[in-house]
Each structure stands twice: as C-alpha cells, then as structure tokens.
Structure 1
Amino acid sequence: MKFIVQWDGLPTAENSVIERFMKTGAQAPEGVKLLGRWHAVGGLHGFAVVEAEDTRGLAALSLDWGDLLTMSIVPAMTDEDLGAALGAHQAARK
C-alpha cells in the first residue's frame, strides 16, 4: 500500500535535521520502500511517497524523526485505484 508522508521541521531543529540527514541519508526503515521524496526550497517542509505492507515501518519512520519533525502519514491511491473505487461507487448507486 502507498502512503504520503508529509513533514514540517520544528522551528529550532534546522541544524539537527541537516546533520541527521547528511549523516544517514534519511534511509527508509525496514519494511518501507521510498518511491520518491521532495523538499521545499527553504524551510524544513516536504513530502515523500512510500510503500509498505503494514504500519510497523511507518511507525519506525515517524519515531526516527519525531524529535525533530512533525509528520503526517496518510494512505494514498493512484488515479487507477481511485477510478476503480469511483466506478464501483457509481455502479452501486444505480
């Protein structure tokens, strides 16, 4: 299943975030496959799209950075998945 991970850095965390990112490369934890990651220009804001079979790796990701970033992790759908869900919904309403 795909998830969207959004983060915002805590106001006093910039140097610590930079240091940790440069040291670790912000590798995804076991059980989480990073599909793509984008960072805002300026500030500590960004998002990633990841894939995971369960939430254990997502919890690890959140805990790994929770002291420096606030995170939001939500399920994501492709256009194809959404189209199928919408088609099923329309069919059920007829």
Structure 2
Amino acid sequence: MLFAIYYEMTPQHRDEVLKRFQKLGDAAPKGMKVIGNWLSVTLLEGWSIVEANDVADLGKLFQSWTDLNVNHVTPVFDEAGAHSFLSGHKK
C-alpha cells in the first residue's frame, strides 16, 4: 500500500531535524520502500511517498521523528490503482 506523508518542522527544530536526517537518512525499516522524498526550499516542510504492507512499519519509521516533526500520513492510490478501483465501483 502507498502512503503520502507530509511533514512540517518548526524553525526552532529545523537544524536538529536536518542533522538527524543526515545521520539516519530516510531510516525506512525492513519491508518498507521509500519511493521518494522532497523538501521545500525553506527546509521547513517535506513530502514522501512510501510503500508499506504493514502499518507497524510506518510506526517504526516515525519513532525517530515525532519529537521534532508534525507528520500527516494518508493512504493513496497510484494512477493504475485508482483506475482499477473506479472501474470496479461504477454505478
């Protein structure tokens, strides 16, 4: 399953977040794949797309970040998945 993650950091935590990111990288647990990461030019917000089969893997990912970031996680379809879903739910 794909998840879109939007995260925000406050200016007072930005430097610590960036240090931790340089140290840990995306820190994806085994069984989870990071499709991509993007940061705003202000370095105060970012977006990620990850693939995970177990929601516990998402919990493991966020253990290293919830003290510094506000994280919003949303399950999403890719385009093929959306077409498949919509074709099966016609009225």
Identity rate of aligned residues, in percent? 32
1:18 equivalent in alignment to 2:24:
no
Match of 2:31 in 1: 31
Q: For residue 11 of structure 1, report the CA deviation from its aligned partner.
A: 3.5
Report the 3-state secondary structure (helix = DSSP H, G, I; strand = E; otherwise coil) of the residue aligned with 2:54: coil
CA RMSD, aligned part only? Answer: 1.3
C-alpha displacement of 1:86: 1.2
Task: Please report how far the alpha carbon of residue 31 of structure 1 lies from its aligned counterpart in structure 2 after TM superposition.
Answer: 2.5
Unaligned 5+ segments in structure 1 are: none
Q: Hey, which bits of structure 1, 4+ residues long, moved more than 2 A?
A: none
Q: What is the one-letter code of the residue matched to 2:7?
A: W
Structure 2 counterpart of 1:54, one-letter code = D
Are the aligned partners of 2:26 and 2:34 in contact in 1 as well (CA < 8 Å)?
Answer: no
Question: What is the identity, as a one-letter code, of the residue corresponding to 2:2?
Answer: K
Select the structure that is richer in helix: 1
- The offset of 1:16, in angstroms, is 0.6
From the CA coordinates, give the structure whose radius of gyration is larger. 1
Gaps of 5+ in 2: none
Give distance in 2, aligned partners of 1:14 and 1:77. Answer: 30
SS of residue in 2 equivalent to 1:12: helix
TM-score by length of 2: 0.90
